[in-house]
A and B are shown apart, each in its own frame.
Chain A
Amino acid sequence: MSEHLKAERAQEWREILRKSMKNKDRTAIPRVKMPEVDPEVRSHTYDEVNLGLTEAMAVNESHRCLDCVDPTCITGCPVEINIPKFIKNIERGEILEAARTLKETSALPAVCGRVCPQERQCESQCFYTLKLKKEPVAIGHLERFAADYERMSGHLSVPATAPSNGIKIAVVGSGPAGLAFAGDMVKYGYDVTVFEALHELGGVLRYGIPEFRLPNEIVDVEIDGLRKMGVKFETNCIIGKTISQDDLKAEGYRAIFVGSGAGLPNFMNIPGENLNGIMSCNEYLTRVNLMQAADPESDTPVHMGKKVAVIGGGNTAMDAVRTARRLGAERAMIIYRRSEEEMPARIEEIKHAKEEGIEFYTLHNPLRYEGDEQGRVRRMELQRMELGEPDQSGRRRPIPIEGDTVWMEVDEVIVSVGVSPNPLIPQSFNGLEVTKWGTIVVNQETMQTADEMIYAGGDIVRGGATVILAMGDGRRAAKAMHQHLQQINS
Chain B
Amino acid sequence: MNKIVGKEYFSDRVVKFEVEAPLIARSRQAGHFVIVRVGKKGERVPYTIASADPQKGTITLVIQRVGKSSEKLCQLEVGDYITDLVGPLGKATHIEKFGTVVCAGGGVGVAPMLPIIEAMKQAGNRVISVLGARSKDLIILEDQVRSHSDEVIIMTDDGSYGEKGLITQGVEKVILREKVDLCVTIGPAIMMKFVSELTRKYEVPTIASLNTIMVDGTGMCGACRVTVGGKTRFVCIDGPEFDAHQVDFDEMLMRLKAYN
Q: Does B138 contact A (CB under 8 A)?
A: no
Q: Does A193 contact B (CB under 8 A)?
A: no
* Contacts of B25-50 to chain A: CB distance below 8 A: 27, 37, 39, 41-44
Contact B225 A274 (CB under 8 A): yes
| Nearest Cβ on chain B to A220's Cβ, whole angstroms | 14
Q: Which of B41, B87, B234, B255 contacts A375 (CB 8 A)?
A: B255
Contact A276 B86 (CB under 8 A): no
Contact B222 A282 (CB under 8 A): yes
Contact A238 B43 (CB under 8 A): no
Q: Which of B42, B89, B222, B259 contacts A267 (CB 8 A)?
A: B222
Given A274-B227, A375-B255: A269 and B41 within 8 A (CB)?
Answer: no
Contact A374 B257 (CB under 8 A): yes
Q: Does B142 contact A (CB under 8 A)?
A: no
Contact B216 A197 (CB under 8 A): yes
Contact B222 A265 (CB under 8 A): yes
Across the interface, which residues of B come within 8 angstroms of A297, CB to CB? 41
Q: Number of contacts between A and B (CB, 8 Å)?
A: 116
Residues of A within 8 A of B (CB-CB), count? 41
Q: Does A435 contact B (CB under 8 A)?
A: no
| Nearest Cβ on chain B to A262's Cβ, whole angstroms | 9
| Nearest Cβ on chain A to B159's Cβ, whole angstroms | 34
Contact B259 A301 (CB under 8 A): yes
Contact A263 B219 (CB under 8 A): yes
Q: Does A292 contact B (CB under 8 A)?
A: yes
Residues 220-254 of A, flagged 1 when their CB comes within 8 A of B and 0 if not, give: 00000000000000011110011110000000000
Contact B88 A279 (CB under 8 A): no
Q: Which of B42, B88, B216, B223 contacts A198 (CB 8 A)?
A: B216
Q: Does B220 contact A (CB under 8 A)?
A: yes
Residues 271-305 of A, flagged 1 when their CB comes within 8 A of B and 0 if not, give: 00111110110110011000110010111110000
Contact A375 B220 (CB under 8 A): no
Q: Among the interface residues B42, B215, B232, which one has the most CB atoms of the partner chain A within 10 A?
A: B215
Given A299-B42, A375-B254: A236 and B85 within 8 A (CB)?
Answer: yes
A295→B42 CA distance, assembly (Å): 12
Q: How many B residues touch the partner, as a band?
A: 35 or more
A286→B43 CA distance, assembly (Å): 11
A269→B231 CA distance, assembly (Å): 8
Q: Which of B86, B220, B255 contacts A282 (CB 8 A)?
A: B220
Given A241-B87, A295-B41, A375-B257: A265 and B220 within 8 A (CB)?
Answer: yes
| Nearest Cβ on chain B to A259's Cβ, whole angstroms | 14
A298→B220 CA distance, assembly (Å): 20
Contact B86 A238 (CB under 8 A): yes
A283→B225 CA distance, assembly (Å): 11
Across the interface, which residues of A come within 8 angstroms of B223, CB to CB? 279, 283
| Nearest Cβ on chain B to A94's Cβ, whole angstroms | 40
Q: Which of B41, B85, B215 contacts A287 (CB 8 A)?
A: B215
**Which chain B residue shows the least CB distance to A283?**
B221
**Which chain A residue shows the least CB distance to B219?**
A264
Across the interface, which residues of B come within 8 angstroms of A283, CB to CB? 215, 221-223
Q: Does B69 contact A (CB under 8 A)?
A: yes
**Which chain A residue shows the least CB distance to B90?**
A241
| Nearest Cβ on chain B to A250's Cβ, whole angstroms | 12
Given A279-B222, A422-B220: A199 and B215 within 8 A (CB)?
Answer: no
A241→B86 CA distance, assembly (Å): 9
Contact A292 B41 (CB under 8 A): yes
**Which chain B residue shows the least CB distance to A242?**
B23
Chain A contact residues, CB within 8 Å of chain B = 197-199, 207, 235-238, 241-244, 263-265, 267, 269, 273-277, 279-280, 282-283, 286-287, 291-292, 295, 297-301, 374-375, 422-424
A sample of 11 inter-chain contacts (CB < 8 A) reads: A199-B44, A237-B23, A241-B89, A242-B27, A242-B86, A279-B223, A286-B220, A295-B41, A299-B41, A299-B43, A374-B257
New A-B contacts (4) at CB < 8 Å, excluding given A279-B222, A286-B221: A241-B27, A274-B225, A276-B257, A299-B42
